[in-house]
Amino acid sequence: MELFNGGSIALKDIPLLEKKEFRGEVLLRCRDGARLANLFGSPDGGGGVRLIAILGQDEDPELQILATTISAGSARYESLTAELLQAHLFEREIAEQWAIVPEGHPWLKPVRYHANYRGVPDIWKDIGEQTIPGSYPFYAVGGEEVHEVGVGPVHAGIIEPGHFRFQCHGEEVLHLEIQLGYQHRGIEPMMCGSGMKRQALLSESVAGDTSVGHSTAFCEAVESLAGCTVPIKAQAIRAVALELERLANHVGDLGALGMDAGFLTTSAYFGRMRGDYLNLLLELTGNRFGKGLCRPGGVLFDIEDSMAEDLCRRLTRYKKEFEEVSDLLFTSPSVLARFEGIGTVSLEAAKSLGMVGPAARASQLEYDVRSDYSSGMWQFYHVPISLAASGDVYARALVRRQEVMRSLELLLKLLPSLPKGEICASPGPLKPETLAVSLVEGWRGEIMHACITDSHGALARYKIKDPSFNNWFALTLAMRNQEISDFPLCNKSFNLSYCGHDL
């Protein structure tokens, strides 16, 4: 079955394939160039679990939906991972959430350490009771000259918790294993038990730095289920907020990259400029991180003409400032020497891992939700995809710089010609037994929310996929055979979310 971004489809219209057929079909389509955008389980009402795969062709604006049923009696299926690397984390997640064994999974370990949703014995005994990493033995490299370095979950900087286990030979990293899950809050089940007001707040808290991105994705999914038409002005305001969020984070990241390379001058300027964009969000929404703006049906705060003019005037100034400071960063030989050739991810690797966002585009993977699955305002405004070829820290910085410039250009085009009219419609009741999928290009990349309603029109399953979920594994790959002292720089160039992954 096929579905547009922001579309919905009745569950009975999704054909259920046999397990074997499902596996064959997913593998076949992925071999033909599709990307596994999501793979998740959902209760099928009869004690079993319905597995839903969402595939994206990327040049085709339609998403492909495939489904199969795993009966409660035999909670196992043949794993996809051995033939499709992108599936590895999705399958681990399914194993943990639904206690379904993906047979033949090469590296089946828990993701977030919680009890399964079905209330049956877990695959890993009492996983919900254990503190991370439980009894899991980290991958270790043998030999007298190899030493192991463990960093975190408590870090020296003000960042989120995560454990990084390096196997090193001298300064060279042979292997890095990342253990996350410390931030698990159980947002997905919480979404299903809450009213719509609370759901909107929850969606803003999936990842604090992507509030606008996740709340837009949530709203679009719910609006699609409610069959509600969002006023065009509300869509424009959401786009403005989304771009401001992107600007704040990309500019902050460029500053942080400079800081980690020991180049303090630009990091101080970028740090201040990040504050400028956050302050614009504050003026727009009353919150520096854009919370409280997007609600099902539209947005809560309007941009009046005078405000749009003021925003334009300031953004023009910020653009000039950004150009000057980023020129300083990108023309300093000592900075380039730190960025170039570090943490390279090849296009092949990016494709097989299913990477998304700026990190993928830095490896020349041409994919941006805004142009490939355009919905809302993006149907009227085209943002060129920012690409770089080298796949290293430099490329990831360069893509950010390009995206900042293009976001600024877009805002300067969009703000003077904001549509007129209402900013909020009221969403009606949700369609029963329906699947809705929404995609948003957050600043880290593709955000996907998929929700399924029960027979009363209440949410029965809410699946959130943050771009970090796709990209964390790329960081371990990027660190292979690099110097351990370059890890902070490499990590910062991805700047992935811990809580977006841990949910």
Partner 1 sequence: MSSLLNVTFPVLAHWMIVCLLSPFFLGVIARVKAFFSGKAGPPVLQPYFDLARLFRKKCVYSSTATWVFRAAPVIILAAMMALSLLVPFGICKAPVQFSGDILLAVYLLALGRFFMILAALDTGSSFEGMGASREAFFSCLSELALFMNFITLALLTRSISLARMIGADVPIVWGGMEPTLLLAVASLFIVLLAENRRIPVDDPETHLELTMIHEVMILDHSGVDLAYLLYASALKLFIFFGILVSIIVPVRTGYPVTDTAIFLGGMLGLAALVGIVESSMARLRLNRVRLLLLISFALAFFGLIVTLWRA
- The footprint of partner 1 (CB under 8 A) covers 147-151, 156-157, 170-171, 258, 260-265, 267-269, 272, 332, 334-335, 337-338, 342, 483-488
CB of 261 vs partner 1, minimal distance in Å: 4
Shortest Cβ 112–partner 1 spacing (Å): 26
CB 435 within 8 A of CB 418: no
Least distance to partner 1, CB of residue 95, Å: 32
Nearer to partner 1, 329 or 383 (CB): 329
CB of 256 to partner 1, least distance (A): 11
What are the structure tokens assigned to 294, written together?
């997007």
| Closest separation in Å from C-beta 192 to partner 1 | 40
Beta strands in 388-503 (DSSP E): 434-442, 445-453, 459-465
Q: How many CA atoms lie within 13 A of 32 on its CB side?
A: 11
Spatial CB neighbours of 486, under 8 Å, sequence gap ≥ 6: 338, 342, 343
109: left (phi over 0), alpha (psi -120 to 50) or beta: beta
Q: How far is the CB of 322 from partner 1 (least distance, A)?
A: 15
As a whole number of angstroms, the distance between CA 404 and CA 329 comes to 14
CB 260, min distance to partner 1, A: 6
Q: Which is nearer to partner 1, 161 or 419 (CB)?
A: 161
CB of 158 to partner 1, least distance (A): 9
Q: What sign results for the dihedral spanned by CA atoms 217, 367, 416, 243? A: positive
* 3-state DSSP of 159-206: CCCCEEEEEEECCEEEEEEEECCCCCCCHHHHHHCCCHHHHHHHHHCC
Q: Specify the residue, 10 or 337, whose C-beta has the smaller distance to partner 1.
A: 337
* Nearer residue to partner 1 within complex by CB, 151 or 424: 151
Nearer to partner 1 (CB atom), residue 142 or residue 157: 157
Residues 83 and 76: their CA atoms lie apart, in Å, by 17
**Measured from the CB atom, is 305 or 327 closer to partner 1?**
327
Distance CA 102, CA 88 (A): 10
* Amino acid (1-letter code) at residue 403: E
For partner 1, the closer of residues 170 and 186 by Cβ is: 170
Q: Of the two residues 268 and 312, which places its CB atom closer to partner 1 in the complex?
A: 268
Q: Give the Cα separation of 165 and 159 in Å (integer).
A: 17
Coil vs helix vs strand at 40: strand
| CB half-sphere exposure, 367, CA atoms < 13 A | 29
Host H or E run for residue 1: none
Dist CA 222 CA 456 (whole Å) = 15
The number of beta carbons lying within 10 Å of the beta carbon of residue 63 is 23
245 vs 260 by CB, closer to partner 1: 260
Euclidean distance between CA atoms 502 and 178, whole angstroms: 13
Whose Cβ is closer to partner 1: residue 334's or residue 426's?
A: 334
Whether the Cβ atoms of residue 281 and residue 245 lie closer than 8 Å to each other: yes
Could you write out the DSSP letters of every residue in 313-372? HHHHHHHHHHHHHHHHHHT-HHHHHHHTTSS---HHHHHHHT--HHHHHTTT----HHHH
Q: How many residues does the chain have?
A: 503
Shortest distance (Å) from residue 479 CB to partner 1: 11
Q: Which residue has the tokens 């170039």?
A: 340
Q: CB nearer to partner 1: give 170 or 416.
A: 170
The packing angle between helices 305-330 and 232-260, to 10°, is: 20
Residue (81 or 390) nearer to partner 1, CB: 390
- Give min distance, CB of 258 to partner 1, in A: 7
* H/E stretch holding 34: none
